[in-house]
Structure 1
Amino acid sequence: MDQQQTPRPGKPGDESIVCALCRKTAEGPPPTWTCSVENGSRRYFCDDCARANIRAIESRLDSSWW
């Protein structure tokens, strides 16, 4: 399990997802957030962080580069 995601407590969709940059939390899978797989683990980015780094995301640069 990724460090950005808590275990599912009961049913699918009950997970908390945390932005890998600003640590904002969302309940359930937020449809407007960005998901990236870096070094084999999923990382989620909120709308604000994704917008601020869209060129790096489109260039497929790992978030550590941003």
Structure 2
Amino acid sequence: MDEETEDPEAPAAPALCANCGTSADGGTPPATWLCSVENGRRRYFCEACARTHIRAVEGRLDSDLW
């Protein structure tokens, strides 16, 4: 299969906002963060960036176009 899967044995990388670089406390993104799958990769966006770009998010535009 061509699907990428996450290795359960690999240490979790800290969650960073793909737009502004803010890091999540504790390494996992809080429920208020946005998760987007673009080109087969998960990208996380902090609450502030998600709110700023909510119209683009609802329009399902890739974050590269924001």
Coarse TM-score class (shorter-chain normalised): 0.7 to 0.9
**4+ residue stretches of structure 1 with deviation over 2 A?**
none
**How many residues align structurally?**
56
Q: Distance in 1 between matches of 2:11 and 2:30?
A: 15
Q: TM-score, normalised by structure 1?
A: 0.76
Q: TM-score, normalised by structure 2?
A: 0.76
Gaps of 5+ in 1: 2-6, 10-14
Gaps of 5+ in 2: 5-9
Which residues of 2 match residues 12-51 of structure 1 at below 5 A?
A: 15-26=13-24, 27-51=27-51
Select the structure that is richer in helix: 2
Root mean square deviation of aligned Cα: 1.7
Aligned residues with identical type, % of pairs? 55
SS at match of 2:56: helix
Amino acid at match of 1:23: G
Q: Distance in 1 between matches of 2:63 and 2:47?
A: 15
SS at match of 1:55: helix
Amino acid at match of 2:60: R
Q: Distance in 1 between matches of 2:31 and 2:48?
A: 14
